[in-house]
């Protein structure tokens, strides 16, 4: 396929994003021409988490302006675009519908093909923009506020689910624990900082790795254990060191993920491991992955923080490979809250 300039949209949760990417695999071109993101963090911080209805309204207000800004920064007109890509699954259904509806209207009005993109695949694609030579097959872990998925990436568009969370996601667990500790929302960054100065062996928490041969995760038990521990100390009138709680919690999470990586490797060795999603910006998770990579002599890939959190550039990148595979959508494309991976 020839070089493509793709206008992409992302609105699966609480970030509205529009971007333009240029992709040409034969010529080794994977570049971001523009990337615009409107965050709703301050709004949802008032409630300690994302409120879907408020998020949907904010997406509606922001998406048109972001589209204009993305095109202006890329110095392109609609006639110079080759396609429109949009996240259609998984995510909050209201926010997803805003992005899908706008993308369909924009593609139809400008006579452009529409490319549906899986949000989880989009997170992995952020690493294609970071490592220009990265190609499947490889093993990937997507960890974010809503997803925790261990994946075998067979090709740019063919994924096999190896393991996933059976309840809560990694990012949700970090935010919940941070909230109980009285840390500002979202709590990931502050938890990361505190964990760097705390004792990871101070408190023993239950593993997130589900017992048995499964490669699945479970974060609900860990969340409950932390909450109960803190409530017990409070009832006794005892204080605690937040840095020790953060360090012990983080150590439990990274330890469980390490175990799953090891099991996956033992079942089918791989030479490249991709860490993606918002939680992949966590410094302790990255150090753990690097340690695993060094031990097994494998390549560890992760994107810069700005591409770890939700953005439209990653959607445009994955959109290119979907287009290469002939995966286009008609005007009746609908949003889907859940998906198989």
Question: Tokens in use for 118?
Answer: 């899986």
Question: How is domain 136-305 classified at the architecture level of CATH?
Answer: 2-Layer Sandwich (3.30)
Share above pLDDT 70 across residues of the chain, in percent, rounded to a whole number = 100
Mean pLDDT score of the chain: 95
The mean pLDDT of 108-119, rounded to a whole number, is 98
Q: Residue 135's closest CA among 278, 30, 9, 22? A: 30
| Residues of each domain in the chain carrying CATH 3.30.420.40 | 4-127+308-324, 136-305
Q: 34-48, 118-132, 309-323: lowest mean pLDDT where? A: 34-48
Quick check: 226 pLDDT over 90? yes
Write out pLDDT tens, residues 287-334. 999 999 999 999 999 999 999 999 999 999 999 999 999 999 999 999
pLDDT on residue 32: 98
pTM, entire model: 0.95
Q: Which residues contact 159 (CB under 8 A, 6 or more apart)?
A: 120, 121, 151, 152, 153, 341
pLDDT on residue 1: 55
Q: Residue 74's closest CA among 37, 18, 36, 33? A: 33
The mean pLDDT of 111-116, rounded to a whole number, is 98
Which is more confident, 145 or 313?
313
pLDDT on residue 66: 98
DSSP run (H or E) holding 141: strand 138-143
Quick check: 2 pLDDT over 80? no
Quick check: 29 pLDDT over 80? yes
Q: Which CATH superfamily is domain 4-127+308-324 in?
A: ATPase, nucleotide binding domain (3.30.420.40)
């Amino acid at each position: 396929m020839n070089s493509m300039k793709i206008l992409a949209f992302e609105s699966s949760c609480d970030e509205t994003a529009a971007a333009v990417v240029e992709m040409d695999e034969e010529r080794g071109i994977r570049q971001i021409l523009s990337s615009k993101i409107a965050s709703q963090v301050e709004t949802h911080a008032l409630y300690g988490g994302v409120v879907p209805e408020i998020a949907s309204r904010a997406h509606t207000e922001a998406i048109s302006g972001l589209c204009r800004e993305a095109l202006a920064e890329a110095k392109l007109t609609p006639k110079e675009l080759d396609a429109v890509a949009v996240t259609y699954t998984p995510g909050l259904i209201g926010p997803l519908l805003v992005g899908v509806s706008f993308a369909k209207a924009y593609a139809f009005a400008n006579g452009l093909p529409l490319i549906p993109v899986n949000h989880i695949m989009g997170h992995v694609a952020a690493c294609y923009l970071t490592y220009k030579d990265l190609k499947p097959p490889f093993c990937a872990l997507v960890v974010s506020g809503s997803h925790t998925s261990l994946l075998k990436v067979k090709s740019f568009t063919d994924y096999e689910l190896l393991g996933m969370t059976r309840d809560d996601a990694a990012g949700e667990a970090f935010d919940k624990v941070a909230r109980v500790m009285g840390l500002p929302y979202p709590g990931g960054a502050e938890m990361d900082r505190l964990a760097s100065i705390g004792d990871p062996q101070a408190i023993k928490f239950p593993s997130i790795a589900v017992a048995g041969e499964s490669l699945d995760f479970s974060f609900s038990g860990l969340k409950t254990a932390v909450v109960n521990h803190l409530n017990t100390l409070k009832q006794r009138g005892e204080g605690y060191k937040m840095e020790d709680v953060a360090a012990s919690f983080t150590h439990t999470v990274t330890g469980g993920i390490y175990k799953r990586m090891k099991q996956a490797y033992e079942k089918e060795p791989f030479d490249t491991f991709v860490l993606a999603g918002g939680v992949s910006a966590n410094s302790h998770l990255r150090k753990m992955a690097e340690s695993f990579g060094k031990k097994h002599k494998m390549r560890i890939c992760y994107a810069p923080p700005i591409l770890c959190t939700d953005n439209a550039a990653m959607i445009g990148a994955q959109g290119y490979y979907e287009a290469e595979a002939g995966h286009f959508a008609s005007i009746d494309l609908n949003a889907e809250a859940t998906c198989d991976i």
